[in-house]
Amino acid sequence: MTHIRLSDHFSYGRLLRYTLPSIVMMIFTSLYSVVDGLFVSNLVGDLALSAVNIAFPVTMIVGAFGFMLGTGGSAIVARTLGEGRPELASRYFSMFIWCVAGLGVVLSIFCLIFIEPIMRLAGASDLLLDDCVRYGGILLAGSAPFMLQSAFQSFFSAAERPQLGLLLSLAAGATNMVLDYVFIALLDMGITGAAWATVLGYCVGGLIPVFYFASPKRSGLRLTRTSFYGRELLHACTNGSSELMSNISASVVGILYNIRLMDLLGEPGVAAHSVMMYVDFVFVAAFLGFSMGSAPIVSYHYGAQNHGELQSVFRRSMVIVGTTSAVMVAASELLSRPLSAAFVGYSPELLELTTHGFRIFALCYVFCGLNIYASAFFTALCNGVLSALISFTRSLLFRGGLVLTMPLLFGVDGVWWSVAAAEGFGAALSASLLIAMRKRYHYTVR
């Protein structure tokens, strides 16, 4: 199979081949989080599952900073490669990676000092607090490798090595899954075992790439001696702010959902929401993977001023996203009960609650693919402001606002409907911005 380069012309087949490793990588990364939930729910119990769902958004807020520098930085690196300056691209890349590692250490220390009040703020009840602190403390201690793994997921695509990123993601996931079984099923370590399995998986995905890119025999994008490029670092933070905002907003909104469900239904409501979030991780991962994999292509041709190829990639991407959205809605409606049963089949009442909620929740897949792609597309064009606007309004303003108001009108069903409604409002904004900016960036024919 021929090696695909960013400078190539991308047909549907070539675009899917190039982005497929990123799609599979994101899905598999999500799957090994799901495996945590399966082991915890079936072997430890629904209270432990609720504790995981309360602690996990906090760890994702910290990890979002790695995703920010990865997506924002990879757009700068890919654009610099498109401008024909590979050595400068490597120096930028090196600075971004060392900044991610250093920031991860600082955030770990800060969060561990305040771990108990943080978990209280996230919605932990007295019944769940100890498990939240144990699980969240271990994951927060592993923030640096987690952030590196998030950053490298974007940079592997910019380095024209998406297949290697996929292999490392598979290795990280396999490590997590095997250790979940060993620590929870064999050694009876409970929720602590799930946390250690996750962190050791992060180490595989976050530390091995450091050695790969630092190899003196490595050609192309690599870790090298660098300087502090303040303007580029600020630009990466600004450009990747949409991904930061999207991840933080999703985590904050997840916390709001947990608090609202704790008020309405107690711990079983949080457990039901946990199941939906695990399934959502996998479904949304397909959109995230495609957007991440195609972003360096957009950045490269934008930097090279290849307007015709940019138009072609955008048009094909929209067809792929739209088709995938339709398939996901159909699949989620058909599979809502068996997927729910895999997590909470031991409790008929909890199974019915989860299945009913998920059938409403799953309608969000009609719209969320467009929102995710539009945000990533503007990041790839180095317009972090518009990307952040989409992420902020969709994730925090719409989802956060509607989950606080719709339950007042529709009860528990209002919690599930708020997700689909928020994505629908977000899609209207995304479509409007894509239409408004088409002439400025030349991604559609005038």
Q: What is the DSSP string of 54-71?
A: HHHHHHHHHHHHHHHHHH
- Residue 6 located in a structural domain: no
Q: Is residue 90 part of a domain?
A: yes
Q: pLDDT confidence of 373, banded at 50, 70, 90?
A: very high
End-to-end CA distance of the chain: 36
The reply to whether 2 falls in a domain is no
Looking at residue 148, its pLDDT comes to: 93
**CA atoms lying within 13 Å on the CB side of residue 306:** 20
More confident residue, 45 or 202: 202
User: Which pTM value belongs to this model?
Assistant: 0.70
Using alpha carbons, select from 261, 218, 16, 167 the residue that is nearest to residue 4.
16
Dist. CA 319–CA 199, nearest whole Å: 37
Place 307 in a pLDDT band, splitting at 50, 70 and 90.
Answer: confident
Arithmetic mean of pLDDT, 122-150: 89
Mean pLDDT of 238-261: 75
Q: Tens digits of per-residue pLDDT, 28-70?
A: 777 777 777 778 878 887 788 788 878 888 888 888 888 888 8
Q: Which two tokens stand for residue 76?
A: 């700068």
Identity (one letter) of the amino acid at 294?
S
Task: Decide if 7 is inside a domain.
Answer: no
Highest-scoring range by mean pLDDT, 250-259, 303-312, 345-354, 422-431 = 422-431
- Written as six digits, the tokens of 224 are 């090298």
Decide if 242 is inside a domain.
yes
Q: Among residues of the chain, what percentage have pLDDT more than 70?
A: 98
Q: What's the pLDDT score for residue 2?
A: 61
- Helices 46-82 & 267-303 angle (0-180, nearest 10): 10
Cβ 33 vs Cβ 281: under 8 Å: yes
Distances (CA, A) of 37 to 53, 143, 220: 9, 20, 39
Helices (H), 362-391: 368-380, 384-391
Judge whether 5 lies within some domain.
Answer: no
- Considering only residues 423 and 56, tell me which one the structure prediction assigns the higher pLDDT: 423
Question: 107-116, 187-196, 391-400, 422-431: which has the minimum mean pLDDT?
Answer: 391-400
Picking from 353, 355, 311, the residue whose alpha carbon sits closest to that of residue 333 is: 355
Indicate the burial class of 319 (C-beta count within 10 angstroms; 0-12, 13-18, 19 or more): exposed
Q: DSSP letters of 14-51?
A: HHHHHHHHHHHHHHHHHHHHHHHHHHIIIII-HHHHHH
Measure the CA–CA gap between 47 and 53, rounded to whole angstroms: 10
**Is there a domain that residue 1 lies in?**
no
Domain with 260, as residue range(s), is 12-441
Residues whose CB is less than 8 angstroms from the CB of residue 60 and which lie 6 or more positions away in sequence, other chains included: 247, 250, 251
Q: How many domains does the chain have?
A: 1
317/218 Cα distance (integer angstroms)? 32
The type of residue at 163 is Q
Asked whether residue 78 is assigned to any structural domain, the reply reads: yes
